[in-house]
Amino acid sequence: MQWQTDWGLRARMGVTMFLLAALYLVFIGVLTVYFESLLLVVIMMGLFSFAQLFFSDKLALRSMGAREVSEEEYPDLHRAVSRLSQQADLPKPTVAVADMDVPNAFATGRSQKNATVAVTSGIMETLTQEELEGVLAHELAHIKNRDVMVMTIASFLSTIAFIIVRWGWLFGGGGRDRRGGGVMVAVLISLVVWVVSFILIRTLSRYREFAADRGGALITGRPSALANALLKIDGRMDKIPERDMRDQAEMNAFFIIPIKSGFIGKIARTHPSTEKRIEKLQALEQELEQG
């Protein structure tokens, strides 16, 4: 079975970006009142947008302690990524490794030509080569679907709104004059913007995992390999120290299996359940066998 464009994913991306764009325009209007200067708001948002688009991949890798590795260091990993990239009709992404026990993987980057696939040492120790290739193909499917870039752009508005909510409460809450009142209005509207964008991003994120599972399984032709990998990774999560889980929970949206421990992991679940993902992969396995 060959790769097919997931129009359901495309439609959801389009709707999400449209709603976020409308939210974005409202947000600019609020910030203009907050800063009393449209030019300042445009410049500030432009700078944040530029930084988010061009540096988010480096920040993601740094937050995970991941570093780019050469073919000499990890020849098997590079060979697998090269072969799977060819099968997916993608440029070979940069390969990175994070030295940590948490068994996980993620993809980041602003485009198919500027992408990185990162894995942890824990996942390489946990999975067989076939299962690891299933995970790598899943991450390549994220890149091919361009949803890494979409999620990066979508999360930008949420990030800005959260910053204003956080610092606005600290520095604007005590204002008694007109300016102080304007600050609090901006903070409250920013809170609404953050909540709405949070919900939209989480809804899109869950669907994109199903799409990447299917895409990754089609790249390798072995849905069972990815299903086995998901089962192993999910089982290992409970054995990871609580502190390590909390440290990495902010990267949930990019992981192949989310970290469920802690407050963030419980309220901000970015993935469908592992059981549902495995059910769909098993159904795809039967479809491939019958086809």
Task: Check residue 72 and give its pLDDT.
Answer: 96
d(CA 284, CA 291) in angstroms, rounded, equals 10
Give me the numbers of helices (H) and strands (E) for the chain, helices first please: 11, 4
Task: Check residue 71 and give its pLDDT.
Answer: 96
d(CA 260, CA 272) in angstroms, rounded, equals 12
Amino acid sitting at position 46: G
The sheet with strand 94-98 has its strands ordered as: 66-68, 94-98, 115-120, 105-109
Task: Check residue 225 and give its pLDDT.
Answer: 96
d(CA 158, CA 153) in angstroms, rounded, equals 10
Q: What is the pTM of this model?
A: 0.76
CB 115 within 8 A of CB 146: no
> CA quadruple 127, 216, 240, 76: dihedral positive or negative?
positive
φ/ψ bin of 23: left (φ > 0), alpha (ψ from -120 to 50), beta (otherwise) = alpha
> How far is CA 47 from each of CA 62, 95, 131, rounded to the nearest angstrom?
21, 28, 41
CB 109 within 8 A of CB 148: yes
Catalytic residue numbers read 139
Task: Check residue 21 and give its pLDDT.
Answer: 74
pLDDT digits (tens, 9 = 90+) for 203-216: 777 888 999 999 99
> Domain coordinates of the chain in residue numbers?
7-290
Task: Check residue 136 and give its pLDDT.
Answer: 97
Task: Check residue 48 and give its pLDDT.
Answer: 72
Q: Which residues of the chain have pLDDT under 50?
A: 170-171, 173-179, 241-250, 252, 261-267
Task: Check residue 252 and give its pLDDT.
Answer: 45
CB 110 within 8 A of CB 53: yes
